[in-house]
């Protein structure tokens, strides 16, 4: 158990509304990631962070922003949700700098109507 929680676990929202998803870790790991998972597309990286206030874009960053003001929290914001952002969102952490593997949270299922 890598001590990762995500909130909320499920959310339904309307097109055009802002949405923020939270990822929380208990072990102060430096690297955190946000992915989305969609049928036919597998897992795609949205944004990642390599420290407090240090973030970078991933493969599918358009329409998303992130913030990391504390080591333990990594927030993903959809400024104006669209139906194409209906997906399952996973947060992950990377433990240490010598290893590459990542550990995933339980996911947030977001539906934009």
Partner 1 sequence: GNSVTQMEGPVTLSEEAFLTINCTYTATGYPSLFWYVQYPGEGLQLLLKATKADDKGSNKGFEATYRKETTSFHLEKGSVQVSDSAVYFCALPVSGSARQLTFGSGTQLTVLP
Q: How far apart are CA 109 and CA 23, in angstroms?
A: 13
Return the ∠ at Cα 64 (arms to 5 and 8), rounded to 5°. 30
Q: Residue 10: CA atoms inside 13 Å, Cβ hemisphere, count?
A: 0
Q: Cβ 44 to partner 1, closest distance in Å? A: 8
Residues in touch with partner 1 (CB under 8 A): 4, 31, 33, 40-43, 45, 48, 50, 58, 90, 92, 94, 99-107
Q: Cβ 71 to partner 1, closest distance in Å? A: 16
Choose between 40 and 69: whose C-beta lies nearer to partner 1: 40
| Tokens 């139906």, located at residue | 83
Choose between 14 and 59: whose C-beta lies nearer to partner 1: 59
């Amino acid at each position: 158990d890598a001590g990762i929680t995500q909130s909320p676990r499920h959310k339904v929202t309307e097109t055009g509304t802002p949405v923020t998803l939270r990822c929380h870790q208990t072990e102060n790991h430096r690297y955190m990631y946000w992915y989305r998972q969609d049928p036919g597309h597998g897992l795609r990286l949205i944004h990642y962070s390599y420290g407090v206030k240090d973030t970078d874009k991933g493969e599918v960053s358009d329409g998303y922003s992130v913030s990391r003001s504390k080591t333990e929290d990594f927030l993903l914001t959809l400024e104006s949700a669209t139906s194409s952002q209906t997906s399952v969102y996973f947060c992950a952490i990377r433990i240490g700098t010598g290893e590459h593997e990542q550990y995933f949270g339980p996911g947030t299922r977001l539906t934009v109507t």
